[in-house]
Structure formats: C-alpha cells, structure tokens
Structure 1
Amino acid sequence: MPAEPLYTRVPEAELVWRPLDAVTLVYHRRSGQTHIVMEPVPELMAAMGEEPIDAAGLAARLAEQYELVRQDAAALVGARLEELAALGLVERVRGRA
C-alpha cells in the first residue's frame, strides 16, 4: 500500500494573512495571487507546523485542539490539503522512506 502523501506549508514569509469578517485574505508573494479562504483553512495551516505531515496526522492534531470526533476527518483534511496544494499554499513533499 503506498504511503500517504506528506504536505508542508509554504514559508510563512511568503504569505500575508488578513482576516476580514467571515473570510480571510491570503496574499501569496511568490505567485502574486490573493486567495479568499474560510474556515477551516487558517486553522489547518496554523496546525500544520514546520515539519511535513500527512492528513491523518493533521486530523489528529486538529482533533486535540478542536475536539473533532468525525470518523472521516482524515479524508476531509486530505481533501482540503489537496485543494491548498492546487492553490500553492501547501506543497506535497516526498514521503517517508
């Protein structure tokens, strides 16, 4: 069975965060694009930390902070990570050897 993909957030210096009511604007300096995001994106990005993490690990970390109990949390987090990767806000990295 293939290893789950690992993700890392782009360096914080590349992002400018501006909360605005129910949404957050994220300016990505490298791409020059501004993204409009909502919960849980800021929370996911904050919980990622500095080291690469997979969806299950991030879901477990979020569960500790936000009392998540959903059985499919890892799948939902994985889907959000893929969306963030498509936007360039997180990057897929090589899995564990």
Structure 2
Amino acid sequence: MRYRAAARDAYVVRPVDDLTLVYHRPSGMTHVVSPAVVAILDLLHERTLGIGEVCEQLAQHHDLDGEGDDIARVVGARLDEMAAMDIIDRIA
C-alpha cells in the first residue's frame, strides 16, 4: 500500500501548543493531531510513498524510538488514521 497527501487546499494546518489542528475543508471537520502526523503529512506532499519509505524518511530527520517492525507498525497506524481523516489517500 502506498500513500499520498490530499491536495494542500483540502485542509488547513495550525499549531496549538504541543498539538496541531487540521481542518479538512471538504468535510468541515477539525482534527487534533500529534507532531508525528504533521511530519508524515509533510513527507507525503507531491509524492507517493509506502510505509517503509515513510519510516526511512522520518528516521533521517527525527529520533525514532523502537526497532524496524515496531516503527513500521506505529507509522502504519498513523497512516490509517490519516486516511480515515481524508488528509491522505491510499493508493493500491
């Protein structure tokens, strides 16, 4: 499975203290997300990546806790949450 961010005009991202708000324009819903979600969203702009590629990119710029499979499981869960919010698309 690969993932790609929705078009930038589909949502608005605003930091609030340690969290970030993501307003999804098409649905009118606002989501409270962690910095990890914002980092993944930034990676998926204008490119399509698989879970392994997202993990590699995150590891280059962030200190990730855990081992390969554990990190992939956590990143996969975040990607599923983001797809459910419609801020990223799953590409088969």
**TM-score, length-scaled by structure 1:** 0.84
Deviation of the 1:88 alpha carbon: 1.0
Q: Does 1:25 align with 2:36?
A: no
| Percentage identity across paired residues of the two chains | 36
User: What stretches of structure 1 of length at least 5 have no aligned partner?
Assistant: none
Deviation of the 1:64 alpha carbon: 0.5
Larger radius of gyration: 1
Matches within 5 A, 1:70-89: 70-71=66-67, 72-89=70-87
Deviation of the 1:68 alpha carbon: 2.8
CA RMSD of aligned residues (A): 1.3
Instruction: Report the counterpart of residue 37 of structure 2 in structure 1.
Output: 41
**TM-score, length-scaled by structure 2:** 0.88
Question: What do the CA deviations read for 1:24-66 (whole angstroms, capped 9, x no partner)?
Answer: 1111111111111122111111122311111111000000111
Cα distance in 2 between the residues matched to 1:27 and 1:49: 17
Cα distance in 1 between the residues matched to 2:89 and 2:44: 12
Cα distance in 1 between the residues matched to 2:64 and 2:34: 18
Following TM superposition, where does structure 1 have runs of at least 4 consecutive aligned residues deviating by more than 4 angstroms? none
Cα distance in 2 between the residues matched to 1:48 and 1:35: 18
User: What stretches of structure 2 of length at least 5 have no aligned partner?
Assistant: none
